[in-house]
A and B are shown apart, each in its own frame.
Chain A
Amino acid sequence: MKYVTHFRAAITAAVGFAVILVLWQVIGNAKLLGPTFPPLSSVIASLTVPYRRHLYIRASLATLSTAAWGYGIGQAGGLAAALFGHLLPFSRAGLDRLASVIHAIPMIALGPLFMAVLSPVWAGTAIAAIGVFFVSYIAGCTAIESAAPTHRDLFQIFGASPLRRLWLLDVPSALPALVTGLRQAVPVAFLGTILGEWFGSAHGLGLLILSAMENFQIALLWSTVILCCGLSLIIFVLLGYVERIVGRHYR
C-alpha cells in the first residue's frame, strides 16, 4: 500500500512537471510574454550547441569547485559550532543569536567585506560558507538532541561508557537530521557562489549569467540559469535519496 502511494505521488509529480514544460514551450512559441521568454526548445538548443560546450563545462567546474569549498567549510563550521554549544551550554544562547543574526544578514551585503579581505575567487566561497553555516548549525543542534532520553537512561543503567553511548546511540540517531542539513544546504551553497561571482570573479556560471543579462543574450541567459539550477537540483535529489536510505535504517 505504501509503495502504491509513493508510486502515485511520483506519477503525479511527473505529470505536473510535464505540464509545466509544455506550458513553457507553448507560451514561448506564441511569444505571449515577449521576446525575453524563449520557448523551451530554443533554451535546450542553446544549451547543447557544440561551440558553447567548452564554455559551459569550464564555467560549471569553476562554480562547482567554489561551491564545494564553501559547502565543506560551512558544514564543518556549523557542526563544530553546534557541538561547541552542546558541550558548553552557557554559550548556547549567544551562539543561537549569532547564527540568527548571520542568517538574517543579506548575503550580498557581505560582498565588499570578503572582496576586501579575500581574493575574488575566495569571496564566493566565503559567502557560500556563511550561508551553509546557518543551515548546518541548525541541523547539527537538532541532530545532537535527537537521541531519545529514555534510550540514554537505558545506556546509563547498563553502565555503558560515554564513548560507547556516543557510537551506539548518539551518532546513529543524529544521522537523519545531519543528512537533511546536508541536502538543504546545497541550494544555499550555489546561491552564495553565484552572488560571489557577480561581485567580480573572472569565471563561473554567475559571471556568465551577469554578462548574458547585460548583453541581452536571452538564450544564453536562460540556458546558463537552467544549467546552474539543474546542477543544484541533481545534487539535491541525490542527497534526498541518501536521506531516505539513512532515514529507513536509523529512524
Chain B
Amino acid sequence: MKRFLARWWGPCLLLLAWQVGVQASGVNQIVMPHPMAVLMDMASNPLVYGRAAAGTLLVAVPGLTAGLAMGGMLALLCQFSAVMEYLLTPLAMMLSSIPVVAIIPVLSRLFGYHMTTLIIIVAIICFLPAFVYMHAGLRSVPAGSLDVFSVFGAGARARLLLLRLPASVPSCMTALRIAAPTAILASLTAEYLMQTGGLGALFRITTAEFRSERAFGCSLVAMVLSVCCFFLALHAERAVTRRWR
C-alpha cells in the first residue's frame, strides 16, 4: 500500500480533486459530471465502451505495427543506400519539428474516409520515432566491434545480421515505448475528425449531444487504454534491455 501510494499519489490526487471540485463548485451535471456518475455509466454500458475501445485498438495496433515495420525497413535501407539516407534524413528532421497530428486532416482527405485510412494515418505518425530510433540503433554498435568484424573478414551481410541488427534491439524497444501512446492519440484524433467509429467518434457524438457522462467516460477509457499501452511497452522495453545488455 505504501509503495502504491508512493508511486501513484499523483493520479489519486487528481481523482480526488475532481470529486471535491465538482461538489464544492456545484456546477451543472451536463457541464461537469461527477466521477461517480461517469463510473456508473461505464459500469452499466460495458458493451458500448468495449466495442468503441475495440474499434480504436483495431486501428492503433495494426497502425503501430505497420509504422514500426516501415520505420525499421527504411532505417535498414539507409544502411545500404546513400540516396535513401539523403532523402529520408531531412524528411525525418522536418517531421520531428512539426505538430504531426495536425496533418491528419490532409491525410484523411488524401486517402478517403475509410478504416484503412485510419490505419495509414497511425502508421505514418508512428513511423517517425521508429525510423529515428532504429536508425540510431543500427549505428550504436559497441566500440571496436566493427574492427573485429573486418579483421575476421566478415562481409556486409554478416556485419548486418550479427552486429548491427542485434545492437539495434534496445532502440527498437525504445521506439515501441515512444510510439505506443502516440498510436492511441493518433487513432483517437483521426476517429474524432473522420467520425468513423471507435472511441474518438463516440466521444465526438456524445460531446455534441451534451451527454457528458458518456463523453467523459470515453475520455477516461481512452486515457486508461493509452496509459496501459505505455506501461506495457515500458515493461517490455525494460525486460528486453535487461536481457540484452
Residues of A within 8 A of B (CB): 12-17, 19-20, 33-34, 36-37, 90, 93-95, 97-98, 100-101, 103-113, 116-117, 186-188, 190-191, 194-195, 198, 206, 209-210, 212-213, 216, 218, 221-222, 225, 228-229, 232-233, 236-237
Contacts and interface: CB of A to CB of B under 8 A. Distances in A.
Given A191-B101, A195-B189, A12 B86 contact: yes
A89 B181 CA distance: 28
A195 B102 CA distance: 8
A229 B102 contact: yes
Given A16-B87, A108-B192, A209 B105 contact: yes
Contact of A97 (B7, B189, B218): B7
B98 A233 contact: yes
Given A98-B10, A98-B11, A104-B181, A187 B106 contact: no
5 contacts: A94-B6, A101-B227, A104-B181, A108-B189, A112-B216
A105 B102 CA distance: 18
Given A113-B216, A221-B106, A237-B97, A100 B6 contact: no
Interface in B62-114: 86-91, 93-94, 96-103, 105-106, 108-110
Given A16-B89, A19-B87, A106-B223, A233 B97 contact: yes
Contacts of B10: 94-95, 97-98, 101
Contact of A106 (B31, B90, B181, B212): B181
B138 to A, nearest CB: 18
Contacts, number: 157
Contacts of A98: 9-11
A232 B216 contact: no
Given A187-B98, A191-B100, A236-B98, 15 more contacts: A17-B94, A34-B110, A95-B10, A98-B9, A105-B226, A108-B185, A108-B200, A108-B222, A109-B203, A111-B219, A113-B219, A190-B98, A194-B101, A209-B105, A232-B97
Contact of A218 (B99, B109, B181): B109
A20 B97 CA distance: 17
Contacts of B181: 103-104, 106
A209 B231 CA distance: 33
Contacts of B231: 104
B32 A116 contact: yes
Contacts of B9: 94, 98
A112 B212 contact: yes
A104 B91 contact: no
Nearest to A90: B6
Nearest to B28: A116
B45 interface: no
B212 A16 contact: no
Nearest to A210: B105
Nearest to B8: A97
* Chain B interface, DSSP helix/strand/loop, else mixed: helix
Interface in B103-159: 103, 105-106, 108-110
Contact of B222 (A17, A94, A106): A106
A16 B90 contact: yes
A103 B93 CA distance: 22
Given A94-B7, A104-B229, A190-B99, A33 B193 contact: no
B11 A108 contact: no
B184 interface: yes
Interface string B25-46: 0010001100000000000000
Contacts of A190: 98-99, 102
Contacts of A187: 96-100
B97 A109 contact: no
A229 B99 contact: yes
Given A20-B91, A187-B96, A117 B109 contact: no
Contact of B102 (A17, A103, A108, A209): A209
B98 A232 contact: yes
Nearest to A12: B86
B104 to A, nearest CB: 9
B175 interface: no
